[in-house]
Amino acid sequence: MHKINVLVAGSTGYIGIELIKILIKHKYVNIKYLCGSKSVGKKIYHYDKTLNNKKLPKIIKFNKNLLKKVHVVFSALPNGEGQKISKLLLSHNYLIDLSADFRLKNANDYYKWYKIKHTAINNIKKSIYSVPELVGKKINHYKIISCPGCYPTSILLPLTPMIKKNLINIKSIIIDSKSGYSGAGRGVHKKYSKQNLYESISAYGVGFHRHNSEIQQELNSISGKKINFLFTPHLSPMFRGILSTIYVDIKDNQNIKKIHNELLKFYKKSKFVKILKINQLISTNDVINTNFCHISLCETKSKDKLIILSAIDNLIKGGSGQAIQNFNLLFGLDEKIGLQ
């Protein structure tokens, strides 16, 4: 198989850097262009000393002429920028977008949650919201691949099979998620300058975090009914990783062993989702620098209630790694290439 030429837009952010680290290891990828704005003319080595590969191109400004020589654009740009790129795509181009630009199927919902008017409404129908484990070969019918947010990834992977199999009550789901501060991007230190990021934990976006929108959309789609849930994210004094703790009520005819077996069956062929033993405690340290999602089911003092633990690396399984996994699916490659 010939190498696939790719362009990384937004190459100097935390996600962009992780993308490049993975793409360098991918045997079927040629990094043709690295693009940025304030970083034009610099080598990516300036932003991460481990990226000292002399073959990597200097950072240049994105322009539509670059699309003639690449097959795939990975966009790790701020919200709104992926829409602009989508309108420039040529017939042989694919866009794998890590922003929220194509996560929501309704342009009005996008404006409601992101306060940006969607400028590429006609391209929404050409896009797919892709958690690789849940989408599979359906990805082949789309030119624009929308990668889920990091929090939703950690939440949708454990909840999807439970809701599909009607194992839990969909009216009372509580989600408590904690993320490393890298999830807020390179501007995190300026944004939270009055807080001690390294020694404190803080709740934010309580009740109205933007990721509520895609969680709601996807869970409703799975169920066919409106799912009632509460989601509270927290910023933790660690650089990377997400741990989501999800509280659910079990249906009358279910128990933890049955639900555990259903999860094992659902993810039997999955390369990156690991269903651990019942009551096994997990931490972000178990998944850091990997594309894995670890899921554990834990008993509570009430037989009708269950606690789900889900851990991912927000920069990889919740970002760059998931994008590469989607890339592999799109081109019929082994999902693990570049991600071992």
Would you please indicate which residues are annotated as catalytic (active-site) residues?
A: 150
Nearest CA among 18, 71, 2 for reference residue 338: 18
List Cβ neighbours of 8 (8 Å cut-off, separation of 6 or more). Answer: 16, 19, 20, 23, 31, 33, 34, 35, 74, 76
DSSP code string of 283-339: -GGGTTTSS-EEEEEEE-SSTTEEEEEEEE-TTTTTTHHHHHHHHHHHTT--TTTTT
Instruction: Judge contact between 196 and 226, C-beta under 8 A.
Output: no
Q: How far is CA 173 from CA 93, 228, 230, 282, in A?
A: 40, 6, 6, 20
List Cβ neighbours of 194 (8 Å cut-off, separation of 6 or more). Answer: none
Task: Give the position of tokens 């409404």.
Answer: 121
Distance CA 247, CA 175 (A): 6
Nearest CA among 243, 187, 177 for reference residue 211: 177
CB atoms within 10 A of CB 54: 6
